[in-house]
């Protein structure tokens, strides 16, 4: 690899895989030699509207001319209007706290849940990723947390749903730790990069019961699932659970502006009427993020989006069966526009780049999360190429 003056994330720097691009358009990255690379994982799940959406770009550009920067304490029409739209999309009452990333959303959810409850411990899954900042990393159970001095002594690990579908062992843990010590349970609604794990409804019903019986707050990390990825506006809207706190980012602006949000329920909002909210950040409710989110909310509720989503979902559904029948595939998990192909042995990302496809290869899992603007014919062609790579047919 040519010497570069910046770090490549989540890898050692010698021989790190990079992609040298000149531009991007629609669902494609375009390399310096003019080769189109189909972005089959929406970059890092956020580029749901591709790389050249005119409406989002116009909204950001127009906002630059009116109010490009705002103090966190300012009140202005866009901030008022878009926050109401977000609450309507969530179909929940409460208030919104704004951030600039998913990790910061989780960070503030942790702080708020502990401050509100007066309790210390947070329960989280081992097979999880909640962000790279220290607090969020403390809840993260995967390999990214192991080399850092996180606050993990305040995190307790719950059994995986597949091993405890009725949450029997989960409840034993609550009793062992003591509900009076537990501030919250923090969960990805559907596990994203760690394998697209969909917990059964029996498990979610138990979690809902724990919330009611033990008075434990439920934090749902919707950073990957939110804003239409699973077919509903938010993933939790498909499961028998009502959260107390929801963490959002990524598709919230289609990735065009770093942005995030945290929803809290009305009880938490009321608590802060008198209690000082000791949370804040310089770019809180950034006007450019609000402008982009305003368009995103409209787009995911449009008939055109529903039509495109249906076509892409059906294509993935068809390919779910095809991939499941391959000898090299252990299991396929699919919900909405999110799919994991679990392989018996891993395949490096470069093998797919050689086929002009960018996707996430995480351990033995290939994670597919296409842009909403991908044509079904493009998706079919790309998945055909993925099948060829899995079968060992590496002709370009």
358: tokens are: 């960018």
Distance CA 59, CA 82 (A): 13
pLDDT, one tens digit per residue, over 193-210 is 999 999 999 999 999 999
Strand 94-99 relative to strand 28-31: parallel, antiparallel, unpaired?
Answer: unpaired
* Percent above pLDDT 70 for the chain: 98
Q: Is the pLDDT of residue 330 over 80?
A: yes
pLDDT, mean of residues 119-143: 94
* Angle (CA) 195 221 234, round 5°: 90
**CATH 3.40.640.10 intervals, the chain:** 55-300
Strand 121-125 relative to strand 365-368: parallel, antiparallel, unpaired?
Answer: unpaired
Look over the chain and give the mean of its residue pLDDT values, rounded to a whole number: 95
pLDDT at 143: 84
pLDDT at 396: 44
pLDDT, one tens digit per residue, over 10-63 is 999 988 889 899 999 999 999 999 999 999 999 999 999 999 999 999 999 999
Query: Which CATH number is correct for 55-300, 3.40.640.10, 3.40.50.10440, 3.40.50.300, 3.60.40.10?
Result: 3.40.640.10
Q: Is the dihedral of CA 135, 140, 144, 150 positive or negative?
A: positive
pLDDT at 151: 83
- Alpha helices by DSSP H, listed for the chain, are 42-45, 54-66, 77-90, 102-117, 134-139, 168-177, 201-214, 266-271, 287-300, 303-324, 349-353, 376-390
Which SS3 state, helix, strand or coil, does residue 341 take? strand
pTM of this structure: 0.96
Comparing 13-27, 49-63, 306-320, 321-335, which segment has the lowest mean pLDDT? Answer: 13-27
pLDDT, mean of residues 330-357: 96
């Amino acid at each position: 690899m040519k010497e570069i003056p910046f770090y490549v994330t989540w890898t050692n720097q010698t021989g790190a895989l990079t992609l040298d691009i000149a531009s991007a358009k629609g669902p494609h990255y375009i390399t310096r030699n003019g080769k189109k690379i189909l972005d089959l994982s929406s970059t890092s799940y956020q580029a749901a509207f591709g790389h050249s959406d005119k409406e989002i770009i116009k909204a950001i550009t127009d906002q630059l001319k009116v109010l490009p920067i705002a103090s966190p304490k300012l009140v202005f029409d866009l901030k008022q209007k878009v926050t109401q739209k977000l609450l309507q999309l969530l179909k929940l009452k409460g208030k919104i706290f704004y951030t600039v990333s998913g990790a910061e959303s989780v960070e503030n959810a942790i702080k708020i849940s502990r401050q509100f409850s007066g309790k210390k411990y947070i329960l989280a899954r081992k097979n999880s990723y909640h962000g790279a900042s220290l607090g969020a990393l403390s809840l993260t159970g995967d390999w990214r947390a192991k080399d850092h001095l996180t606050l993990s002594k305040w995190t307790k690990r719950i059994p995986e749903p597949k091993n405890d579908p009725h949450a029997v062992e989960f409840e034993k843990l609550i009793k062992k730790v003591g509900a009076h010590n537990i501030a919250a349970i923090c969960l990805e609604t559907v596990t994203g990069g760690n394998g697209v794990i969909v917990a059964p409804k029996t498990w979610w019903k138990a979690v809902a019961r724990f919330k009611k019986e033990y008075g434990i707050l439920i934090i749902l990390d919707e950073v990957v699932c939110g804003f239409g990825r699973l077919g509903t506006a938010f993933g939790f809207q498909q499961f028998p659970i009502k959260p107390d706190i929801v963490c959002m980012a990524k598709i919230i602006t289609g990735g065009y502006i770093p942005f995030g949000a945290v929803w809290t329920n009305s009880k938490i909002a009321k608590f802060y009427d008198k209690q000082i909210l000791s949370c804040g950040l310089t770019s809180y409710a950034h006007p450019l993020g609000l402008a982009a989110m305003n368009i995103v909310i409209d787009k995911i509720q449009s008939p055109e989006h529903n039509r495109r989503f249906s076509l892409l979902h059906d294509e993935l559904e068809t390919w779910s069966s095809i991939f499941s029948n391959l000898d090299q595939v252990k299991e396929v998990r699919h919900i909405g526009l999110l799919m994991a192909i679990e392989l018996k042995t891993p395949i490096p990302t470069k093998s797919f780049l050689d086929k002009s496809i960018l996707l996430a290869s995480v351990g033995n899992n290939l994670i597919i999360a296409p842009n909403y603007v991908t044509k079904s014919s493009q998706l079919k062609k790309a998945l055909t190429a993925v099948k060829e790579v899995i079968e060992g047919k590496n002709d370009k």
